[in-house]
């Protein structure tokens, strides 16, 4: 079963009322450092990324900075982050492309973003949403789980969930929807032990194994 548009509107309104200032927890100082942090956050917590980048971004915060650093130095700076070898290579290469092709600016369209090394659909959507204020929905593990669990979607892949969310959610909530659903999944609708007794959408949610 899936929620209809009226129920979906009610669900997202309740989340909007209960979650104040829904936004990314990644710390950044400009569009490039946001892109960098999102690339680093793959299979890594935002807290860990913030701990690593808080000192880096004081000195290095442009594509030219990272292109000049080179892969070895980038590796050294991010070595406590998972998959740091691959991420360092991607950050170096995407920085070079931004310098050479985009005048050191982060492109504000999906196709250009996903052609950058280390940037997939989720990363591109996060950057477009947070940096360029576009109504995109990035589907991570939290958004995928909560959307399917509540009945907002019935998708077998992140792409299907994204497509279904864009269809069922009201336009005025699309800008916030990713963060509302993500934060609800991170703190309430957890993977193993969802806190259903304190859930503001408990009565709308279609999850059959509610923890009540």
Q: Average pLDDT, whole number, for the chain? A: 95
Q: Find all residues with CB under 8 Å of 39, minimum gap 6, and list them.
A: 87, 90, 91, 94, 118, 119, 123
Q: pLDDT, tens digit, for every residue of 143-193?
A: 999 999 999 999 999 999 999 999 999 888 989 999 999 999 999 999 999
Neighbours of 74 (CB within 10 A): 24
Determine the Cα–Cα distance for residues 110 and 161; give it in Å rounded to an integer: 18
pLDDT score for 210: 87
Q: Find all residues with CB under 8 Å of 138, minimum gap 6, and list them.
A: 121, 122, 123, 125, 126, 129, 162, 178
Based on the residue annotation, tell me whether 79 is a catalytic residue of this protein.
no
**Whether this model's pTM surpasses 0.85:** yes
Q: pLDDT, tens digit, for every residue of 137-156?
A: 999 999 999 999 999 999 99
Burial 144-182 (b: 16+ CB within 10 A, else e): bbbbbbbbbbebeebebbbebbeebbeeebbbbbbbbbb
Token pair of 26 as six digits:
């990644």
Q: pLDDT, tens digit, for every residue of 18-33?
A: 998 888 899 999 999 9
Rounded to whole angstroms, what are the CA distances from 55 to 29, 135, 191? 12, 31, 32
pLDDT score for 169: 92
pLDDT score for 35: 98
User: How many helices and strands (H and E) does the chain possess?
Assistant: 10, 0
Name the burial class of residue 35, with classes exposed (0-12), middle (13-18) and buried (19+) by CB atoms within 10 angstroms of its CB. Answer: buried
Q: Contact 119/94 with Cβ under 8 angstroms? A: yes
Q: pLDDT, tens digit, for every residue of 46-101?
A: 999 999 999 999 999 999 999 999 999 999 999 999 899 999 999 999 999 999 99
Catalytic-role residue among 122, 175, 198, 210 = 122
Token pair of 209 as six digits:
């194994």
Based on the residue annotation, tell me whether 140 is a catalytic residue of this protein.
yes
pLDDT score for 27: 95
Rounded to whole angstroms, what are the CA distances from 140 to 18, 29, 90, 157, 183? 21, 23, 20, 11, 11
Angle between helices 171-187 and 121-132 (to 10 degrees): 120
pLDDT score for 182: 95
Catalytic-role residue among 75, 87, 140, 176 = 140
Structural domains present in the chain: 5-23+136-198 (1.10.1670.10), 31-132 (1.10.340.30)
pLDDT score for 209: 87
């Amino acid at each position: 079963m899936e929620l209809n548009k009226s129920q979906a509107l009610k669900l997202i309104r309740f989340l909007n009322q209960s979650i104040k200032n829904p936004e990314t927890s990644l710390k950044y100082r400009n569009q490039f450092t946001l892109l960098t942090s999102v690339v680093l956050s793959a299979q890594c917590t935002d807290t860990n990324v913030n701990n690593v980048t808080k000192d880096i971004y004081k000195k290095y915060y442009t594509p030219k900075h990272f292109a000049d650093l080179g892969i070895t130095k980038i590796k050294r700076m991010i070595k406590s982050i998972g998959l740091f070898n691959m991420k360092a290579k991607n950050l170096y290469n995407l920085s070079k492309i931004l310098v050479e092709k985009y005048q050191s600016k982060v492109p504000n369209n999906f196709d250009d973003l996903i052609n950058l090394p280390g940037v997939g659909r989720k990363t591109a959507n996060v950057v477009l949403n947070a940096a360029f204020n576009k109504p995109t929905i990035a589907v991570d593990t939290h958004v995928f789980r909560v959307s399917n669990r509540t009945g907002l979607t019935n998708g077998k892949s992140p792409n299907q969930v994204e497509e279904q969310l864009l269809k069922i959610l009201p336009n005025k909530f699309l800008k916030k929807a990713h963060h509302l659903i993500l934060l609800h999944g991170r703190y309430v609708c957890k993977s193993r032990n969802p806190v259903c007794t304190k859930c503001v959408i408990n009565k709308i949610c279609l999850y059959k194994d509610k923890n009540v």
